[in-house]
A and B are shown apart, each in its own frame.
Chain A
Amino acid sequence: MLTLIIGALMQGSVYGLVGMGYGLIYKASGLMSLAQGDMLMIGAFLGMTFYKTLHLPFALSLLLVMVIMFTVGWLLERVLVTSLLAKGAQQVYVILCTIAISMVLQNVAMFAWGSNTMQFPPILNFSINLFGTTVEADRLLVLAVGILFMLLLHFFMQKTRFGTAMRAAAQDETAASALGINVPMTKGVAWGLASMLAGVAGVILGPSYGVYTAMGALIGQKAFAGAVTGGYGNMYGAIVGGLFLGFVEAFCAFYISSLYKDFFAFGILIIVMIFMPNGLFKEQVME
């Protein structure tokens, strides 16, 4: 039972991390990226390369992954999305563009690292005895890092100057730029942060999941389901929704059948969209 709960919390915090990225992007630019899951996958592969192949210390590997993923996300927004919007493209085309990017990322990963599942060496190589059940420390690490990054992002958005600027730009672009806030910059940073969060999630998920090119697609979509359940565009909603989805999935797999857990996860998404499209945190999604 405890293993089940920890598994659910672990999975849920990963969904939460990736889902916060969706929220950031949506708040900052009103757009949606479907490449988040593949950012997670690229992050996991990069982390594995730094940590396993180059034998760098884990903290340094994580930091490098964060920097690289931030740049990738920032470039994606600055180069592709902005020029697409400058052409007067509709939002659907931006979504299509991110779908294309996600396919490109998967192929790049397949080209660079091959299509086999790879082993991510354990980060904390010991188990903890928790209320009579042994739990691998790596699983708790996922939870801890997840919570840490959620708190960091919260403080960044609420307490720092740039975070405040980002929130202002999200609320009213024109007013924010009139006050001297660099709005395009805040959008780029939001996309960068989103892919950074996904990259972090990939690195910490690596040891318990294995690293393979298709690992991101499903996680990305479930994180989206979580984000919608919580209220799309709301960072805290994404966390709550992600955890909720993690629990649903773990308990479905345990009590019903692990074959159907994806079915239930997406079923929840559809039910939420039908009956309470604004999610738990009441975000506006209807037109």
Chain B
Amino acid sequence: MNQNTVLTQQKGAAFWKKNRLSIIAIAVLCVAAAVMLRTRYLAMILDFICIYTIAVTGLDLLFGYTGQVSFGQAGFYAIGAYTSALLSKNLGVPPILSIFIGALLATVFGVIIAFPASKLVKHFLSLLTIAFGLMVYTFVNSCSALTGGPSGITGIPKVSIFGLELGSYQSYFWLVAILMVLVLITKKNIINSRVGRAFIAVRENPHAAAGMGINVAKYKIMAFAISAFAAGLAGALYAHMIRFISPDTFTKDQSNMFMTMLLFGGIATMSGSVIGAAAITVMTELLQQFAAYQTLIYAVLILIVLFLLPNGTVGLFSKLKAAVRKRGQKRKPGKEGTPQ
């Protein structure tokens, strides 16, 4: 009995030592979120961070882990948003249900796109996804009968769960935050599973992966489907948060923004997509007066990441951590050496 408590204590200490940085970071984030939730504007930014994190997490599974590029995430984002908005507004489907229908429809499109994409080499894949994004954009922009054309859809219903209406940005935060955490947990589980290891094998060397008995096309399609689901979910959440959507939101700048967030945060990491989404969202808000040059900011960030920070912000952190640890190790022997 006593031994057991000691053991759990030791386990707890080991867990603390191993994960202390993440635990501290999460605690700080919770406090920051609690403070930010008191203001409507800051709560909106928080909501955006959660929504973008969901989309970027999906993209990370596709690009970071499976090595398949997509510059058309805005297309899935649009499908999710428009499906959910139209279903809930015109057919009276409860938004909480229509959000998931939107995400599922995006997944279906993801699979359709993935079939040819799983066979193409990288540049053609980039272009196929760009073309897909543009097709969705042109469709929502021109099919006025269904999507309202350039003027978009207004008066999208609010989300309500068990009679509880999430009308304000503050209350909406709980929905998007819970979904974000669920998506992140799912991502962690996928990565640590057979599927995740297959993704990484496909990224590192598709031929070797195929040689090991991995069905490369199947996993590529799966990665596409997951990323499309995440983007569709994010789009649907966006639609019910702002309660107005128009084609302007779903241009290729949006796809590039997701890519910038992912690269800036760091690919193939757990925290990268969160950090990237948060950093770029905050940066965009801070530089609001230069909104006309927004794409320039993305471009400069992409170039900085490409040339200076190949592993994004997360890579920078781990470099710093390694440097600090190195210095600590250097100092320790000296301290212990003197008393003798």
Q: Which residues of A contact B (CB under 8 A)?
A: 26, 31-32, 34, 83-84, 87, 89-93, 95-97, 99-101, 103-104, 106-107, 110-111, 115, 217, 221, 224-225, 228, 232, 257, 259-260, 262-263, 266-267, 269-270, 273-274, 277, 285-287
CB within 8 Å of A: which B263-301 residues: 263, 292-293, 295-296, 298-300
**Roughly how many angstroms separate A92 CA and B124 CA in the complex, as a whole number?**
10
A173 to chain B, nearest CB (A): 18
Q: Is the CB–CB distance between A95 and B126 below 8 Å?
A: yes
B121 to chain A, nearest CB (A): 5
Known: A32-B123, A103-B298, A107-B293. A262 touches B138 (CB 8 A): yes
Q: Is the CB–CB distance between B302 and A107 below 8 Å?
A: no
Answer yes or no: B155 CB below 8 A from chain A CBs: no
Q: Is the CB–CB distance between B120 and A96 below 8 Å?
A: no
Q: Is the CB–CB distance between A221 and B307 below 8 Å?
A: no
A89 to chain B, nearest CB (A): 7
Q: Is the CB–CB distance between B299 and A103 below 8 Å?
A: yes
Known: A228-B127, A260-B142. A104 touches B259 (CB 8 A): no
Q: Is the CB–CB distance between A266 and B131 below 8 Å?
A: yes
Q: Is the CB–CB distance between A270 and B298 below 8 Å?
A: no
Q: Is the CB–CB distance between A267 and B307 below 8 Å?
A: no
For B263, what are the chain A residues with a Cβ–Cβ distance below 8 Å?
Answer: 96
Known: A96-B302, A273-B128. A263 touches B120 (CB 8 A): no
Q: Is the CB–CB distance between B256 and A277 below 8 Å?
A: no
Q: Is the CB–CB distance between B295 and A273 below 8 Å?
A: no
Q: Which of A26, A104, A115, A269 contacts B292 (CB 8 A)?
A: A115
For A97, what are the chain B residues with a Cβ–Cβ distance below 8 Å?
Answer: 302-303, 306
For A95, give the chain B residue with the smallest CB separation. B126
Known: A95-B122, A103-B296, A221-B130. A84 touches B306 (CB 8 A): yes
Q: Is the CB–CB distance between B127 and A224 below 8 Å?
A: yes
Contact mask B239-255 → A, CB, 8 Å, 1/0? 00000000000001000
**Roughly how many angstroms separate A95 CA and B123 CA in the complex, as a whole number?**
7
**Roughly how many angstroms separate A34 CA and B255 CA in the complex, as a whole number?**
15
Q: Which of B63, B121, B310 has the most CB of A within 10 A?
A: B121
**Majority DSSP secondary structure for residues of A touching B:** helix
Q: Which of B119, B139, B293 contacts A263 (CB 8 A)?
A: B139
For A84, what are the chain B residues with a Cβ–Cβ distance below 8 Å?
Answer: 306-307
B129 to chain A, nearest CB (A): 10
Q: Is the CB–CB distance between A273 and B71 below 8 Å?
A: no
**Roughly how many angstroms separate A115 CA and B291 CA in the complex, as a whole number?**
13
Q: Is the CB–CB distance between A286 and B121 below 8 Å?
A: yes
Q: Is the CB–CB distance between A100 and B306 below 8 Å?
A: yes
Q: List 24 A-B contacts (CB under 8 A).
A: A26-B123, A31-B123, A87-B307, A89-B310, A92-B122, A92-B126, A93-B306, A95-B123, A97-B302, A97-B303, A103-B295, A104-B300, A107-B293, A221-B134, A266-B132, A266-B135, A269-B127, A269-B128, A270-B128, A273-B116, A274-B116, A277-B116, A277-B124, A287-B119
**Majority DSSP secondary structure for residues of B touching A:** helix
**Roughly how many angstroms separate A140 CA and B149 CA in the complex, as a whole number?**
35
**Roughly how many angstroms separate A122 CA and B138 CA in the complex, as a whole number?**
31
Q: Which of A83, A100, A110, A111 contacts B302 (CB 8 A)?
A: A100
Q: Is the CB–CB distance between B122 and A267 below 8 Å?
A: no
B250 to chain A, nearest CB (A): 14
Q: Is the CB–CB distance between B299 and A107 below 8 Å?
A: yes
**Roughly how many angstroms separate A215 CA and B295 CA in the complex, as a whole number?**
16
Q: Is the CB–CB distance between B71 and A107 below 8 Å?
A: no
A127 to chain B, nearest CB (A): 32
Answer yes or no: B69 CB below 8 A from chain A CBs: yes
**Roughly how many angstroms separate A153 CA and B126 CA in the complex, as a whole number?**
28
For B302, what are the chain A residues with a Cβ–Cβ distance below 8 Å?
Answer: 96-97, 99-100
For B115, what are the chain A residues with a Cβ–Cβ distance below 8 Å?
Answer: 274
**Roughly how many angstroms separate A286 CA and B124 CA in the complex, as a whole number?**
9
Q: Which of B116, B132, B252 has the most CB of A within 10 A?
A: B116
Q: Which of A225, A262, A267, A287 contacts B121 (CB 8 A)?
A: A287
Q: Which of B69, B123, B298, B307 has the most CB of A within 10 A?
A: B123
B210 to chain A, nearest CB (A): 11
Answer yes or no: B312 CB below 8 A from chain A CBs: no
Query: Known pairs A99-B71, A104-B299, A224-B127. 15 more at Cβ < 8 A?
Result: A84-B307, A87-B307, A92-B69, A92-B122, A100-B306, A103-B295, A107-B295, A221-B130, A228-B127, A259-B138, A262-B134, A266-B132, A270-B131, A285-B121, A287-B120
For B206, what are the chain A residues with a Cβ–Cβ distance below 8 Å?
Answer: 287
A230 to chain B, nearest CB (A): 14
For B115, give the chain A residue with the smallest CB separation. A274
**Roughly how many angstroms separate A100 CA and B301 CA in the complex, as a whole number?**
9
**Roughly how many angstroms separate A268 CA and B302 CA in the complex, as a whole number?**
30
For A89, what are the chain B residues with a Cβ–Cβ distance below 8 Å?
Answer: 306, 310
For A32, what are the chain B residues with a Cβ–Cβ distance below 8 Å?
Answer: 123, 126-127
Q: Is the CB–CB distance between B293 and A260 below 8 Å?
A: no
Q: Is the CB–CB distance between B138 and A232 below 8 Å?
A: no
A86 to chain B, nearest CB (A): 11
**Roughly how many angstroms separate A257 CA and B138 CA in the complex, as a whole number?**
12
Q: Is the CB–CB distance between A273 and B299 below 8 Å?
A: no
Q: Is the CB–CB distance between A103 and B256 below 8 Å?
A: yes
**Roughly how many angstroms separate A173 CA and B310 CA in the complex, as a whole number?**
28
**Roughly how many angstroms separate A14 CA and B252 CA in the complex, as a whole number?**
23
A81 to chain B, nearest CB (A): 11
**Roughly how many angstroms separate A232 CA and B263 CA in the complex, as a whole number?**
28
For A274, what are the chain B residues with a Cβ–Cβ distance below 8 Å?
Answer: 115-116
For B137, give the chain A residue with the smallest CB separation. A262
**Roughly how many angstroms separate A91 CA and B296 CA in the complex, as a whole number?**
22
